[in-house]
Structure 1
């Protein structure tokens, strides 16, 4: 399985690398609009802070600020391969940190995972069965296994879709997957079912 995952990750990285910056910007804008239809006012949203070639989450974070949603971001802890959480009040607090990921180092406002309503997380690849493949370190899978009740929305560009991902028991399935096309997977029901209906 690990050899197959390595092969698939190489394919997915190449697809992402092949995208032009303008294409990334445009498609990230569509993704932001789709996501904002899924977030109710007042909900606390945990969102990843994007690196250059990922779905750009800066417009999403700004839109959440404008709507009045509390925003929480993850901080990578390499020592125990875990994530700690911080509220984010200003994009200016973000500085490149572990793996080049922007984090509010020096400006942390500790957040409790129990206060998070929705988590929006990155995917290197996905399939239409809710499968997600990350970059290989397992930070998000470990975090999600400890907090299984979080409503999980995976975001990626459409080119990152695979017909059948090589996933295992440690890979947590998404409740929703959103690309520039909109929702491409609806798995988790729960309290967000009405919002999925609004989105169609």
Structure 2
């Protein structure tokens, strides 16, 4: 299974990397708009802070700020392969950290998983059965295993879709998957 996952990850990485920055920016804006239709006013949203070639979450985070939704972001803890949570009040609090991921290091406002209603997750790939494949470290799968009651929304570009993914029992299924085309999977 791990060889197959590695092969699929290579394919998906190449597809994502082939996108032009302008195309990524436009499609990220569409994704943010689709997501804002799914998030109720007042819901606390945990959202990943994107790296360069991922769905850009900046437009989403700014829209959440505007709508006065509390925003929580993950902080990667390599030591125990877990996520620590912090509220985010302004984009300026983010600095490149572990794996180049922007995190509010030095500006943390501790949050608890119980504070979160909806989680927006990065995906390297997805299928139309709610399957998600991440980057391989399992940070989000471990977090979701301990916090199963959150509404899980995976975001990706349409080019990251696979007909089927090599998922196993540790891979947590999404409740919703959103691309630039809107909701492509709704398992609620």
Q: TM-score range by the shorter chain?
A: over 0.9
Give the match's secondary structure for 1:173.
Answer: coil
Corresponding residue for residue 47 of structure 1:
47
For 1:104, the equivalent position in structure 2 comes to 104
Q: Partners of 2:40 and 2:6 in 1: how far apart?
A: 38
CA distance in 2, matches of 1:90, 1:29: 19
Any idea what SS the aligned residue of 1:14 has? Answer: helix
> How many residue pairs were aligned?
188
1:152 maps to what in 2? 152
SS at match of 1:27: helix
For residues 42 and 8 of structure 1, what CA distance do their matches in structure 2 show? 38
1:121 aligns with 2:146: no
What do residues 49-105 of structure 1 show as CA deviations (whole Å, max 9, x unaligned)? 000000000010000000000000000000000000000000000000000000000
Whole-angstrom distance in 2 between the partners of 1:29 and 1:61: 11
2:167 is matched with 167
Match of 1:78? 78
Partners of 2:174 and 2:167 in 1: how far apart? Answer: 12
Runs of 4+ in 1 over 6 A off after TM superposition: none
Aligned residue in 2 for 1:176: 176
CA distance in 2, matches of 1:17, 1:41: 34
What is the DSSP-based 3-state SS (H/G/I as helix, E as strand, rest coil) of the residue aligned with 2:83?
A: strand
1:30 paired with 2:38, answer no
TM-superposed CA distance for 1:108, in Å, is 0.1
Gaps of 5+ in 1: 189-200
Question: Which deviations, in whole Å up to 9, do the C-alpha atoms of 1:110-165 show, x marking residues without a partner?
Answer: 00100100000000000000000000000000000000000000000000000000
Aligned residue in 2 for 1:9: 9
Q: Could you give the per-residue CA deviations for residues 27-54 of structure 1, whole angstroms, max 9, x where no partner exists?
A: 0000000000001110000000000000
Query: What RMSD in Å do the two structures reach over aligned CA positions?
Result: 0.3
Q: What is the rounded CA distance, in whole Å, between the counterparts of 1:130 and 1:117 in structure 2?
A: 19
Q: For 1:141 and 1:90, locate their aligned partners in 2 and report how far apart those are by CA, in whole Å.
A: 27
TM-score, length basis structure 2: 1.00
